[in-house]
Copies of this chain bind each other. A is one copy, B any other.
Amino acid sequence: MAAAGSDAACRNGNGRTGERLAGSALASDIPFLFARARAASTRNAHAALAQIGLKVRAFSVLLLACEGLRPTQRELSEFLSLDPSQIVALVDELERRGAVIRQADPQDRRQRIILPTPAGKRLLRKAQGLIQAANDKSLGSLTQAERQMLNVLLQQIVFPGGRDRHASESG
């Protein structure tokens, strides 16, 4: 690609780089900032997870499966804002790998509960270490207090219902 930003400064003889445009009103546009922040943080997360053959989507599913919540595929779809058909592919991948299993819910046999295997739990622990390091890199310019504040603000946007969350800075 052409991955601007970090190392792309001062290249051409004209002194014109993308940095010059940071004076634009766009630099204060929240959706634009979300897009750039997300791109950078998922790039770091992907790079970190690559060494154990995971992607962030699969990591999210694995994490949700490992917390004792016994999620159905439908719930995963809703919470991750992904289409049910995408969950199928993600669970297929994790199941092939022996990290999770599908269990038919005895109370409604249409639903499949996603459960972790011991190997899945081990994989998650490894992944969480890598993710934490990646997130530290993504948020390196923020203090711990600033990260916590950012976490609270983002949760207010994403979960406007406003359940009293603890902002535990897992990432």
Q: Which residues of A contact B (CB under 8 A)?
A: 1-5, 8, 12-14, 16-42, 45, 56, 60, 63-64, 67, 69, 71-72, 74-84, 105, 107-108, 111, 131, 135, 138-142, 146-147, 149-151, 153-163, 165-171
Contact = CB atoms under 8 A, between A and B. Distances in A.
B165 A24 contact: no
Given A21-B64, A23-B69, A140-B160, A81 B39 contact: yes
Contacts of A33: 151, 154-155, 157-158
Q: Is chain A's binding surface mostly helix, strand, loop or mixed?
A: helix
B159 A22 contact: yes
A140 to B, nearest CB: 7
Contacts of A24: 63-64, 67, 69, 79
B169 A28 contact: yes
A151 B28 contact: yes
A139 B157 contact: yes
Contacts of A156: 141-142, 146
Contacts of A151: 28, 30, 33
B31 A83 contact: no
Chain B CB count within 10 A is highest, among A13, A154, A161, for A154
A141 B160 contact: yes
A34 to B, nearest CB: 4
A3 B78 CA distance: 7
B28 A56 contact: no
A171 B30 contact: yes
28 contacts: A8-B78, A13-B108, A16-B74, A16-B75, A18-B74, A18-B76, A19-B78, A19-B79, A21-B64, A24-B69, A25-B63, A26-B64, A28-B168, A29-B170, A30-B139, A30-B151, A31-B38, A31-B41, A31-B45, A32-B171, A33-B154, A33-B155, A34-B38, A34-B41, A34-B154, A40-B157, A138-B157, A141-B156
